[in-house]
Amino acid sequence: MASFSREEWDTLGGACRSNSNASPFDSGTAYNPFISYDFLSILEESGCVAARTGWQPVHLRLEDTDGALLGAVPCYLKSHSQGEYVFDHGWADAFERAGGRYYPKLQVSVPFTPATGPRLLVRQGADGCAVRAALAQGLKALAGQLEASSVHVTFAEAPDIAALEEAGFLHRTDTQFHFLNEGYGSYDDFLATLASRKRKALKRERREAVAAGIEIDRLTGRDLTEAAWDDFFAFYMDTGSRKWGRPYLNRRFFSLVGERMADDVLLVMARRGGRYIAGAINFIGADTLYGRNWGCIEDHPFLHFEVCYHQAIDFAIERGLKTVEAGAQGEHKLARGYRPVITHSGHYIAHPGLRRAVADYLVRERREVEAVGQYLEEHAPFRKEGSRE
């Protein structure tokens, strides 16, 4: 982020909480903490994102004739496909078996963060369509300059996808599970929309999650002490070492987040016997709560669901947030009131042969994603129209 000042970055739609009132379909968008100057610079300053970790920052900058920032793209030159959550390992393997070189590639995303948000960032008040079109072409040019095989713009919003497709990018879809707040006044209001059997199951699940004398704390702002971060980092490391072998984020990252973004963070912590035993970190946007990492040092039935999903719904309803994004994958979220939502990405592949093969594959994949989404929606726990449950 060294090539940007905070002041100019904050003029980009979605990057600053004070720029939160515009529709996502013009040059502004609701505040998203993951594209803020603080979050992206913390990733770099902590060393989590760097050439040595396979995430070399090569952010794209678009200026007007006076040298003022018109748009930008958070972009990384990558030597692997880890930490992305839109999987292209099969493409890489096939291309390299055929004698091609898949890496380096360009990745446009928020590292280690499967959350939808703006990717082609536009200065407030600028012509969004024109700026996005220029940024999409700029990404293709940058790939050529850096001899990258491809460009991958993941978890993008609709205006970005439209600009990318116009520039020749391939459109890919996938499914996540989000809680959609229909103006509920309380968690009980939400429960009332569920089928009776599902409603009873969730009530029982929440009781059993804390039955072993567990209490739940929500920490944000000044409550985010270094001691709390120490506890959470122990949970994070335990989960990371089991799932990935080497966690992506280091301890310094969390300290910097606490220093600079405390009001954008909700840490849900489970306490038993006077000490914390589990926790989950969430980030707070203008209208969305983003669930990110979870961990524990004691196993208790249903505690994961309570800390990660039910508490997030409680918080979103209390704050009037429209959505909870609960991260990648996880059909178990459906039973907890999270609905299937289609996510989108755009992919530019320079090699004509690989491009044709991937394009054919994506046609079939999009059909499958749509069919699975319809099936999941039909099996959601909500009361069916006309039901007396």
pLDDT digit string (tens) for 256-286?
A: 999 999 999 999 999 999 999 999 999 999 9
Q: Tokens for 11?
A: 């003029």
Using DSSP's 3-state secondary structure scheme, residue 279 falls into: strand
Final residue of a structural domain among 293, 321, 349: 321
Can you give the CATH number for the domain in which 240 is found? 3.40.630.30
In a domain, 157, yes or no: yes
Please tell me the predicted confidence (pLDDT) of residue 28. 52
Same domain flag for 196 and 91? no
Q: Is the model more confident about 30 or about 246?
A: 30
Pair (354, 237) in one structural domain: no
The rounded distance, in Å, linking the Cα atoms of 232 and 268 is 10
Contact between residue 262 and residue 254 where contact means Cβ atoms under 8 Å apart: no
Q: Do residue 317 and residue 345 come from a single domain?
A: no
CB of 216 closer than 8 Å to CB of 210? yes
Distance CA 159, CA 122 (A): 11
3-class DSSP assignment, residue 121: strand
207-221 residue pLDDT tens: 999 999 999 999 999
What domain range is 226 assigned to?
182-321
pLDDT in tens, 334-378: 999 999 999 999 999 999 999 999 999 999 999 999 999 999 999
- 258 and 307 part of one domain: yes
Alpha-carbon distance 141 to 73, whole Å?
13
Shared-domain flag, residues 229 and 98: no
Examine the domain organization and report whether 292 and 354 are in the same domain: no
| Token output for 137 | 């072409």
Residue 168: inside a domain, yes or no? Answer: yes
193 and 54 in a common domain: no
What are the backbone dihedrals phi and psi of residue 222, each rounded to the nearest 5 degrees, phi first? -65, -15
Domain assignment present for residue 389? The answer is no
Helix-, strand-, coil-residue percentages of the chain, each rounded to 5? 40, 25, 35
Who's near 145: CB < 8 A, 6+ residues apart? Answer: none
What are the tens digits of pLDDT across the range 133-190? Answer: 999 999 999 999 999 999 999 999 999 999 999 999 999 999 999 999 999 999 999 9
Q: What is the pLDDT of residue 240?
A: 74
State how many domains the chain has: 2
Q: 104 is written with which tokens?
A: 């380096």
- Give the C-alpha separation, 120 to 52, whole Å: 26
Tell whether the model's pLDDT for residue 27 goes beyond 50.
Answer: no
Res 389 pLDDT > 70: no
* Residue written as token pair 């995430």: 55
Q: How far is CA 62 from CA 9, 58, 126, 138, in A?
A: 12, 13, 12, 8
Regarding whether 366 and 260 lie in a shared domain, the answer is no
208 part of a folded domain: yes
> Is 333 inside any structural domain?
no
**Tens digit of pLDDT for each residue in 339-348?**
999 999 999 9
